[in-house]
Amino acid sequence: MISNVLQIKNLQKGFKDTQVVNLSSLSVQQGEIYGFLGPNGAGKTTTMKMILSLISRKAGEIEVFGQPIGTDKQYLNQIGSMIEEPSYYPNLTGYENLLVFQKILGFDKKNIQETLKIVGLDQPKNKKKLVKDYSLGMKQRLALAFALVKKPRLLILDEPTNGLDPAGIHEIRELIIKLAKEQGITVFISTHILSEVEHIADRVGIINHGQLVYEGEIRKIQSNKWLEVRGDFRDRREVISQVLFGYPCKMLEIQEDKLKLTNLADQQISSLLRDLIVEKVPIYEVKQEQETLESIFLNLTKE
């Protein structure tokens, strides 16, 4: 049975008279990495804050681990979040900051050193460094340590790689995959780096003006492929149709200079091209194309 770790129904939020979130349904399943995407101001952070009870909601339901969230905030013990820069003590080290957190929340103290190692802040040179002297990337890592140190079952990460260098982005990405696939932690993550989402997410949801406009599996997006043929197809539509008749492919589009075909096996491509050339159809270029998250995102969110 697939169990939902997070389920949102008819969730609404407005500020003054403006509605900023209106999510009819969204669910995140156990162990998956769900990429929560949308342009600036779409409502991602606001949604995450409502899940974490940091702000109130106008209407709707949020269930975490099968329980509707309400006045009892116990569910937060099982969630690690990185949503805004945590309030650090700038004159303490990373370890000491986590120790303060440990005293408040009471999780196992041995988690601290383990977590600093996981996020890559355990090198001897950083041991004595005060947080006020941290680089942006180090602060991001410490924020991730805050999210992980209580060993949560669900991670809610709002743009966790913001401000990191390419190596840092790669490391955090690999870490998130490891946490999900090896430890079964469910991850709900927002980011603007679509190539990153394509690498890590199992599913994505795109919101625009507070509404979910797309939801799908990354694997399915990438398996949507077609063949794009560039040539001179003026006055050749009939002969092209006759040639295509012998193949199981589907014509997606035909223009004067462009033909898009799908559902063709590799062996059929060469034979089809040969047949077109025999019929004197001028062909200049042939390439395999596949759907990208970027094209879906741009199509659905353009103003």
Ligand X SMILES: Nc1ncnc2c1ncn2[C@@H]1O[C@H](COP(=O)(O)OP(=O)(O)OP(=O)(O)O)[C@@H](O)[C@H]1O
Residues in contact with ligand X by CB under 6 A are 15, 20, 38, 40-46
- Total residues contacting Mg ion (rule CB under 5 A)? 2
Q: Which does 184 bind (CB under 5 to 8 A by kind): ligand X, Mg ion, none?
A: none
* CA-based torsion, 110, 115, 120, 125: positive or negative: negative
Q: Which is nearer to Mg ion, 7 or 45 (CB)?
A: 45
Considering only CA atoms, which of 71, 41, 52 is closest in space to residue 6? 52
Q: Which is nearer to ligand X, 33 or 37 (CB)?
A: 37
Distance CA 159, CA 198 (A): 15
Least separation in angstroms between residue 94's CB and ligand X is 26
Q: How far is CA 187 from CA 13, 22, 123, 174, in A?
A: 23, 22, 27, 13
Q: Which is nearer to ligand X, 111 or 211 (CB)?
A: 211
Cα torsion at 56, 61, 66, 70 (round to 10°)? 40
Q: Which does 15 bind (CB under 5 to 8 A by kind): ligand X, Mg ion, none?
A: ligand X
Least separation in angstroms between residue 159's CB and Mg ion is 7
Q: Which is nearer to ligand X, 23 or 121 (CB)?
A: 23
Q: Which is nearer to Mg ion, 176 or 244 (CB)?
A: 176
Q: Which does 56 bind (CB under 5 to 8 A by kind): Mg ion, ligand X, none?
A: none
Helix residue spans in the chain (DSSP H) = 44-51, 94-105, 110-118, 124-127, 136-148, 166-183, 194-200, 218-222, 237-245, 266-278, 293-301
Q: Which is nearer to Mg ion, 32 or 159 (CB)?
A: 159
Least separation in angstroms between residue 271's CB and ligand X is 48
Least separation in angstroms between residue 190's CB and Mg ion is 6
Cα torsion at 194, 199, 203, 207 (round to 10°)? -10
Q: Which of residues 24-63 bind Mg ion (CB under 5 A)?
A: 44-45
Residue pair 95/127 in contact by the 8 Å Cβ criterion: yes
Amino acid at 273: L
Q: Which does 43 bind (CB under 5 to 8 A by kind): ligand X, Mg ion, none?
A: ligand X
Q: What is the CA radius of gyration of the chain?
A: 25
Least separation in angstroms between residue 21's CB and Mg ion is 12
Q: Which does 164 bind (CB under 5 to 8 A by kind): ligand X, Mg ion, none?
A: none
DSSP character for 93? B
Binding region for Mg ion (CB under 5 A): 44-45
